[in-house]
Structure 1
Amino acid sequence: MTTAAKLYGKDLSEYDDVDVDDLLAQLTPEEINILAKEVDPDDSFMPPSERCSYECDKSPTGPLNRKKLIEHINKQALETPDRPELKPYVPGVIRGKKWVPPPQESAKEKEVEEQIAIDLGEEYEQALSNATQEEIIDLAAILGFHSMMNQDQYHASLLNSGQPVGLGWDGITKASQPKPYPMEPPNDTDVDATIKQVREDDASLIDLNWNNIKNISDEKFIQLFEGLEINTHLESLSLTNVGLTDKTAQRLADALEKNSTLRVLNVETNFISPAVIVRLIRALLKTKSIEEFRCSNQRSQVLGNKIEMEITQLVEQNPTLLRLGLHLEFNDARHRVAAHLQRNIDRIRKDLTLRLQFRFFNMNHRKPALIQ
């Protein structure tokens, strides 16, 4: 039970049945003016005329006649002379600056912009493809895309139609029940067997995933990186949350300088220092084969301006890197890295387009074989 509201020790529930209009009718004009000064001027429930501090003491000349008022305003507007122009008007003479429309983009630039695709990732793509219509509408409302909803859906969301009692805009805010998700199965990759495959350059081993495997010794890491130097088939290596330290990461950097087939490297959530991260990124310039490198969430969350600028300079020298998974705090470094990665993506897309065009040209203009 809630306690009754009180003012100066008196219960306010006694005044629920009191008619305010009758009380105001009993007040004199002087008392009403004093009461108006005590009212909060920022009260949005009061009309603007009563919240204005200006007070007019003139007596009214008569009732309001809107038609005569508009006629009087129009008459004054017609009778008031125009301001004289400083420069007289001459037909055919342009006064001031002439507006010139901005240059239109060429059709080729528009085609290039339309060809750029947005990669949302496998998780977001799968979530959006399996989402129902109601979930898409809720997501559009959260993001502010009200234009994606039709008129019936918009008014239904405002009127809470179809919503059970207690939910919707007028309901009490409460947390929704979380959906139970099954735990991810443990990584059952055989460490010793995969090390042997890497050292023997097994052609069937293209993707190696050691994520979340605990208690891997430094000797096994060194054996893996020694085999990586001579391996010519492995394309993706994931070492997330495996306890990688600066000692083993230095050995990984040496292996990257000799390997020319690895395209994806993931060393997130480990214990690598910022200086060794720079060493790894510098190693990518040796063979220039890595397209995706991820190394965020390390021992030091803040890299510092000096380290970030050094990483930016190394990334700008890499012509093959397309994705960099690393949090950069400073805007200059973040923008320069993003611009360079976008240039690499555009250049590769352009090269691929030219190759396809050249291939189709050869197919269409191939000379027919002579009939003997």
Structure 2
Amino acid sequence: MTTPAKLITSNPDIKKYEEMDVDQLLAQLSPEEIQILAKEVDPDDSLLPPSQRCSYECSKEPTGPLNRKKLIEHINKQALETPDRPENKPYVPGTVRGKKWVPPQNVNQKNETEKIKIDLDDEYEVALNSATQEEIIDLAAILGFHSMMNQDQYHASLLNKGQPVGLGWDGVTKATQPKAFPPEPPNNTDPDESVRRLKDDDHTLIDLNWNNIKNISDEKFEQLFAALPNNTHLETLSLSNTGITDRIAVKLADALEKNATLKVVNVETNFISPPITVRLVKSLLKQKVIEEFRASNQRSQVLGNKIEMEITKLIEQNPTILRLGLHLEYNDARHRISAHLQRNLDRSRSRRMGHFARQYTGGWVVHHFAK
């Protein structure tokens, strides 16, 4: 059972309708009266559909399909032909209307600094009164008052080098002059000569650095990677900022699977996609000789959770990798890789210390070398 709706009003003329049911009142109205009443409905009523909240109704028939271009042209033409509204008061040069702004008078106010009295012991007061300016600056550096001095004063105090001449407290607002460093010299490595020495398995070619060399052709990269499997002396390969794409990176991954002497590979700042990065990390599991691999700052700054988890699983299967240069976003991947790299470092340190021991038939004998 529902309670019938009642008409609640404060108008004394229609007080008599309060006891009547609203549905009975609506039943006595004609369709025209109901339509007029519908126009007075609160437009913010959320129970009504949007089409019924708007009181605007157009009874005209459509004249044809909408032509947006002609409509815009008609609006622009009507705007240009409509005359501007005349001003109530014409503009007269030099006439000031309204209240004129008058700047305030300059009042010479004395900047009176309020002195704060600090109650110090006699011993501290005598020490501070007799302290020099350099000693006060050193004391501020020891107490950590960085905002009271510049960088030169702070570092000079910590290193006990003596304060720079002419700075004092007046040097607080002066910025430290930046040190001019010479630009990095260009990479003068000859790619053709490097490829030739790599093919000849030159025993003096241990570190190959092509970093920052521009306009290296794909054919030159292919010749380089084709010579890697048969080389037995190269240990470090640096190809940072050389414009390596996915197609070239796949050939590099194939070469890493066949080379057994490389220990460091650097392909940072190139255009390698995340799936191909996974392919490169996977290629390290074939020979298990590479100790350092760097591939950060690629085309995609964010690898994604799926790619990071794949890289994490591949790194956890690699017993020789010691350093990995990749930007990982998720903490789980960072912690798992960091823990595995630490285990590899401990294992490598144990192998290096193993040369102090020799195995005999009776067990392990540790040789202590006398100084």
Give the alignment's TM-score, normalised by structure 2: 0.55
Output the amino acid matched with 1:303: L
Shift of 1:192: 0.7
1:193 aligns with 2:289: no
% same residue: 57
Q: Give the Cα separation in 2 of the matches to 1:304 and 1:325.
A: 16
Once the two structures are superposed, the pairs formed by residues 149-164 of structure 1 within 5 Å of their partners are 162-164=163-165
Hey, which of these two has a bigger chunk of helix by percent?
A: 1
Once the two structures are superposed, the pairs formed by residues 23-38 of structure 1 within 5 Å of their partners are none
State the aligned residue count.
230
Q: Is the 8 A contact 2:356 2:367 kept in 1?
A: no
Shift of 1:174: 4.0
Name the residue aligned to 2:293. Answer: 293
CA distances 1:130-162 after superposition (whole Å, capped 9, x unpaired): xxxxxxx9xx97999xxxxxxxx99967xx983
Name the residue aligned to 1:229. Answer: 229
Once the two structures are superposed, the pairs formed by residues 353-364 of structure 1 within 5 Å of their partners are 353-358=353-358, 361=365
* Structure 1 residues 358 and 333: CA distance shift in structure 2, 3 A: same
Q: Give the Cα separation in 1 of the matches to 2:252 and 2:190.
A: 20
Name the residue aligned to 2:109. Answer: 13
Extract unaligned runs of 5+ from structure 2: 1-103, 119-137, 146-153
Name the residue aligned to 2:68. Answer: none
CA distances 1:220-259 after superposition (whole Å, capped 9, x unpaired): 0011001001111111100011111111000000001111
* Structure 1 residues 156 and 312: CA distance shift in structure 2, 3 A: closer
* Structure 1 residues 167 and 276: CA distance shift in structure 2, 3 A: farther
Q: Give the Cα separation in 1 of the matches to 2:254 and 2:324.
A: 20
Q: Give the Cα separation in 2 of the matches to 1:279 and 1:292.
A: 16
Name the residue aligned to 2:9. Answer: none
Output the amino acid matched with 1:205: L
SS of residue in 2 equivalent to 1:229: coil
SS of residue in 1 equivalent to 2:229: helix
SS of residue in 2 equivalent to 1:215: coil
Shift of 1:172: 3.3
1:335 aligns with 2:335: yes
Q: Give the Cα separation in 2 of the matches to 1:354 and 1:248.
A: 40
Name the residue aligned to 2:304. Answer: 304
* Structure 1 residues 300 and 166: CA distance shift in structure 2, 3 A: same
Q: Give the Cα separation in 1 of the matches to 2:237 and 2:111.
A: 76
Q: Give the Cα separation in 1 of the matches to 2:272 and 2:143.
A: 38
CA distances 1:174-207 after superposition (whole Å, capped 9, x unpaired): 4321212222221111111111111222222111
Once the two structures are superposed, the pairs formed by residues 256-271 of structure 1 within 5 Å of their partners are 256-271=256-271
Q: Give the Cα separation in 2 of the matches to 1:156 and 1:207.
A: 43
Q: Give the Cα separation in 1 of the matches to 2:366 and 2:164.
A: 62
Once the two structures are superposed, the pairs formed by residues 143-222 of structure 1 within 5 Å of their partners are 162-164=163-165, 166-167=167-168, 171-222=171-222
Q: Give the Cα separation in 2 of the matches to 1:193 and 1:363.
A: 47
SS of residue in 1 equivalent to 2:340: helix
1:279 aligns with 2:273: no
Q: Give the Cα separation in 2 of the matches to 1:258 and 1:242.
A: 23
Shift of 1:217: 0.2
SS of residue in 2 equivalent to 1:358: strand
Q: Give the Cα separation in 2 of the matches to 1:358 and 1:242.
A: 47
SS of residue in 2 equivalent to 1:296: coil
